[in-house]
Chains A and B, each alone.
Chain A
Amino acid sequence: MGAKKVIERIANFLEITNFTINGKKRSLKELLKKLKHKRLEILRALKKECSDEEVQKLTDELDLITFHIKKAKKKLAELS
C-alpha cells in the first residue's frame, strides 16, 4: 500500500478529510472580521470633519474594503 493511501485512510478514520476546506473557511472568517473592523473605522472617520481630498481617499478605501467583504462572503457561502 502506498504512503498516500495510508495517509488517506488515516485521514478518513480521523474524519479530517475536510481539513483544507475548514482551514480556508477559518482564514476567510478571520479576514472578514478584520475587514469589517476596518470598514467601521473608515465610516467613523468619514463622520468627522475632513477635507474633500481626505473624503475621496477614504471613500476609495471604503469601496475596496466593501468589495472584498462581498467577495469573501460569497466565497464563504460557496465553501459551506
Chain B
Amino acid sequence: MGKKLFLPLSMLILVYGFYKSNNFQEIAAGVAIFLFGMLLLEQGFKTFSGGTLDKILKYSTNRLYKSLAFGVVSTSIMQSSSLVSILTISFLGAGLLTLSQGTGVIFGANLGTTTGAWLVAGYGLKINIGAYAMPMIVFGTLFVFQKNNSFKGVGYILTGLGFLFLGIHYMKEGFDAFKGAIDLSSYAVGGYKGLVIFTIMGIVATVVMQSSHATLVLIITALSAGQVSYENALALAIGANVGTTITAILGAMSSNIEGKRLAGAHLVFNLVTAIIAVVFISQLVYFVDESASYLGIAQDDYTLKLAIFHTIFNTIGIVVMIPMINPLVRFLEKVITSEVEQDGIGHDSVLYLNDSALEFPQSAMGAIIREIKHLYDNAFEIIAHGLNLKRGKIVSSMELEEVIKHTHAKKYIDIEAFYEQRIKDIYSEIITFSTQAQTNMSPQSIEQLYKLKLASRDIVEAIKNTKHLQKNIIKFSAHPNRHIQAEYAQIKYSIAELLRNINIIATTDEEDVIILLLSKIRLNTQKYDIIANGKLDELIRNHNITNQMATSLMNDSVYVYNIRNKLCNMAEILFIEANSDLKNLHDELHITQGEIEELLEKKE
C-alpha cells in the first residue's frame, strides 16, 4: 500500500512545488540531473572496468585492512558507494567473499564516500563547475556512441561527471535564487530538538533520493547559500548516512542470505555511527573547529567544516566498529537465517545463484562454479546412498574393501525422488542463470561457461546411470551366487574409489596428486570395464553365472563406465579448468586413450 502511494504522492508534492516556485523546480531538476549523472557514472565504471574492478575485489580483500582500503579507494575514485555496495553484495551472493570481508569493504566505502563532500565543498562551490559540464557532456556522448567498449565506458564516465557538475550547478543556482524569495534558514531549529528533526529529515531525503551523495551535495549547496544553518546541516549529514542503508537493504533483497546479512551490517554500522554523532555532537563540533584551525580552514567556511565533520564521524564509526566485526558477523548469522524447507528427503535449492551475482561477469562465473560444486555435493550423496554406501566412510581413510561392507541404511534410497528434490531445480537454475550471465561475458568466459554447463550435465547423467545400476545392485548384492555377488561388490568398490578420488582432487592443492589421480581414474575406468578386460567372457565360459546374469552385468558395466567417465570429465572441468597453472600442467600431462591402452597392454 505504502509503496503504491509513494510515487503518486511524491509526484503531487513535486507538481505543487513546481507550481509554487520556479526556484524549487531548479533545485529539483538539479537533484534529478545529479542522480542521472550518478547512474551514468556507475554504468561507465561497469563498462570501462571490463571486469577489472571485480578482479581487484577478488584479490584485495583477503585481509581486513585490505577490504577497508578497497572500500575507501574504490568509492573515492568512483564517487559511488552504491556501486561498491552492489559489487560487494554480488560477490558475497556468489560466495566469493566472506561476510567479514564484505563488511570491511562496506565500512571502507562509508569513509570513501566522504571524499565527495570534500570535492563539492572544496571545488564544486568555489569554481564555476557548470562551465565544465557542457563540454564533458558533449564529448562524453560522442564517446558513448563508439563501438569500442573502453571508449563507451569513458563516454559514460565523462557524461556522468558532466551531469553531476550540471546538477550541482543547478542546485546552487536554485538555492541562491531561492534566498531572494524565501529564507529557509528562518526555519532552523536549535538544540537537541533540531538535531533529531533534521537527522530524520536527512534520513527521509536520502531514502527518497536513494543516494546519500545527492543528499550531501544538496545540504552543502543549501549551506553555502545560507539556506540551512550549520548545526542543522550536520544533523542532515548524520541522517543521510543512516538513510543510505536503505539503498543497500533494497539491493540485498534480490541477493541471498549473505547479501541480506551484509545489508544488516551496513545498517548497524550507520546506526551506531549516527548514535555516537548525536550523543557527542558538541564534542564533535569542537573537534571539527579545532581540526579546521589546524588545516587552515576559515571558521566561517561551513561547507568545508561539514566535510571535516562527515569524515570524522565516519572515521570514528570505523574505529569503534572494527573490533566488533567478528561479533557482529556472528550476531547477523544468528539473527538472519534462511528458511529451510523440511520434508522426508529435504528439498534443496540454489545457494549462490541470485540476481545480485549476475551484476558482474566475475561474480556470475564464481557463483556458477560454486553452484555446480553444490550440485556435485548433492550428487555425491545420491550416488553413494543410491548404492547404499556411507558418505563419511568413502571420504575417510578406511580401506575401500571395508567401506563397501558398511551400508548406509536398511533400504536403498529412491534415487528418482532424491533427483527431483535435490538436483532437478538446481540443475535447471544453473542452465537458466548461465544463459543470462553469458550476455555480459567475453568469448573466453562464454567458452568456459559452456564447459561448466557440460560439467553439470555430466553430474546429472551420472545420477541417471546410477539409478539404472541400482536395480541390479539391490538384486545381486545379496545373491546366493557368490560370483555375481563379487562382481557387484567390485562395481560398488569401483564407484566408491571414484568418489573418494574426486573428493581428494576437490580438496587438495597438490598438483602431482591431482594429475596422478585423474590419470588413475581414467586408467581404472578402462581396467574395470568387465567387457574389455575379458572377465565377463571368463565367467560365462566357466558357467559361473547364468545368461541372464551375464546380460545384466554387461548392461551395468556400461552404466559404471558412464558414471566414471562423466564424473571424471566433470572433475577436470570443475577442479582443473578454474586453476590456470593446474590446467597448463594437465594439458601437457593428461593421459590419452592410446596411452591408457598401451599401459594396460604392458601389464598384461
Give chain A residues whose Cβ lies under 8 Å from the Cβ of B253. Answer: none
- Which chain B residue has the least Cβ–Cβ distance from A59? B603
- Which chain B residue has the least Cβ–Cβ distance from A35? B512
Partner of B584, one of A27, A35, A65: A27
Q: Which of B122-130, B228-236, B473-481, B516-524 faces chain A?
A: B516-524
A61 to B520 Cα, complex, angstroms: 8
**CB distance B599 to A67 under 8 Å?**
yes
Give chain A residues whose Cβ lies under 8 Å from the Cβ of B585. Answer: 27-28, 31
A68 to B517 Cα, complex, angstroms: 12
B183 at the interface (CB under 8 A from A): no
Give chain B residues whose Cβ lies under 8 Å from the Cβ of A65. Answer: 516
Give chain A residues whose Cβ lies under 8 Å from the Cβ of B591. Answer: 67
- Which chain B residue has the least Cβ–Cβ distance from A24? B584
Given contacts A24-B588, A64-B519, A72-B589, whether A31 and B603 have CB atoms under 8 Å apart is: no
**CB distance B510 to A34 under 8 Å?**
yes
B residues 271-313 touching A (CB-CB < 8 Å): none
Chain B positions 503 through 530: 1 when the CB is less than 8 Å from some CB of chain A, otherwise 0? 0000000111001100110010000000
B597 at the interface (CB under 8 A from A): no
**CB distance A63 to B603 under 8 Å?**
yes
Which 3 pairs from chain A and chain B are nearest by CB?
A34-B512, A75-B588, A71-B589
Give chain A residues whose Cβ lies under 8 Å from the Cβ of B512. Answer: 31, 34-35, 38
Partner of A67, one of B510, B584, B588, B595: B595
Give chain B residues whose Cβ lies under 8 Å from the Cβ of A67. Answer: 519, 591, 595, 599
B447 at the interface (CB under 8 A from A): no
* Interface set of B (CB-CB < 8 Å, partner A): 510-512, 515-516, 519-520, 523, 581, 584-585, 588-589, 591, 595, 599, 602-603
A31 to B599 Cα, complex, angstroms: 21
A residues 11-32 touching B (CB-CB < 8 Å): 23-24, 27-28, 30-31
Given contacts A68-B589, A71-B589, whether A27 and B511 have CB atoms under 8 Å apart is: yes
- Which chain B residue has the least Cβ–Cβ distance from A26? B581
| Secondary structure dominating the interface of A | helix
Shortest distance from the beta carbon of B592 to any chain A beta carbon, whole Å: 10
Partner of B515, one of A24, A30, A31, A75: A31
**CB distance B589 to A64 under 8 Å?**
no
Given contacts A34-B512, A64-B520, whether A28 and B588 have CB atoms under 8 Å apart is: yes
Give chain B residues whose Cβ lies under 8 Å from the Cβ of A24. Answer: 584, 588
Q: Contacts A31-B515, A67-B591 known; list 5 others, CB within 8 Å.
A: A38-B512, A63-B599, A67-B595, A67-B599, A71-B588
Give chain B residues whose Cβ lies under 8 Å from the Cβ of A64. Answer: 516, 519-520, 523, 599
Q: Report the number of A-B residue pairs with Cβ-Cβ less than 8 Å.
A: 47
A28 to B520 Cα, complex, angstroms: 19
A71 to B595 Cα, complex, angstroms: 11
Interface size bracket, A side? 10 to 19
Give chain A residues whose Cβ lies under 8 Å from the Cβ of B510. Answer: 34
Given contacts A27-B511, A27-B581, whether A68 and B588 have CB atoms under 8 Å apart is: no
A67 to B168 Cα, complex, angstroms: 71
* Interface set of A (CB-CB < 8 Å, partner B): 23-24, 27-28, 30-31, 34-35, 38, 61, 63-65, 67-68, 71-72, 75
- Which chain B residue has the least Cβ–Cβ distance from A33? B512
A67 to B599 Cα, complex, angstroms: 9
Give chain A residues whose Cβ lies under 8 Å from the Cβ of B595. Answer: 67
Partner of A31, one of B511, B519, B602: B511
Give chain B residues whose Cβ lies under 8 Å from the Cβ of A30. Answer: 511
Give chain A residues whose Cβ lies under 8 Å from the Cβ of B602. Answer: 63
Give chain B residues whose Cβ lies under 8 Å from the Cβ of A68. Answer: 515-516, 519, 589
A23 to B582 Cα, complex, angstroms: 12
A57 to B142 Cα, complex, angstroms: 69
- Which chain B residue has the least Cβ–Cβ distance from A67? B599
Shortest distance from the beta carbon of A80 to any chain B beta carbon, whole Å: 14
- The residue among A61, A63, A64 with the most chain B CB atoms within 10 A of its own CB is A64
- Which chain B residue has the least Cβ–Cβ distance from A32? B512
Give chain A residues whose Cβ lies under 8 Å from the Cβ of B584. Answer: 23-24, 27
A75 to B512 Cα, complex, angstroms: 16
A34 to B512 Cα, complex, angstroms: 7
A77 to B312 Cα, complex, angstroms: 62
- Which chain A residue has the least Cβ–Cβ distance from B595? A67
Shortest distance from the beta carbon of B51 to any chain A beta carbon, whole Å: 15
Give chain B residues whose Cβ lies under 8 Å from the Cβ of A71. Answer: 588-589
A72 to B516 Cα, complex, angstroms: 12
A61 to B512 Cα, complex, angstroms: 13
Shortest distance from the beta carbon of A41 to any chain B beta carbon, whole Å: 12
Give chain A residues whose Cβ lies under 8 Å from the Cβ of B603. Answer: 63
- Which chain B residue has the least Cβ–Cβ distance from A38? B512
- Which chain B residue has the least Cβ–Cβ distance from A72? B589
A23 to B580 Cα, complex, angstroms: 11
Give chain A residues whose Cβ lies under 8 Å from the Cβ of B511. Answer: 27, 30-31, 34
Give chain B residues whose Cβ lies under 8 Å from the Cβ of A31. Answer: 511-512, 515, 585, 589
Shortest distance from the beta carbon of B169 to any chain A beta carbon, whole Å: 35
Shortest distance from the beta carbon of A21 to any chain B beta carbon, whole Å: 11
Shortest distance from the beta carbon of B232 to any chain A beta carbon, whole Å: 50
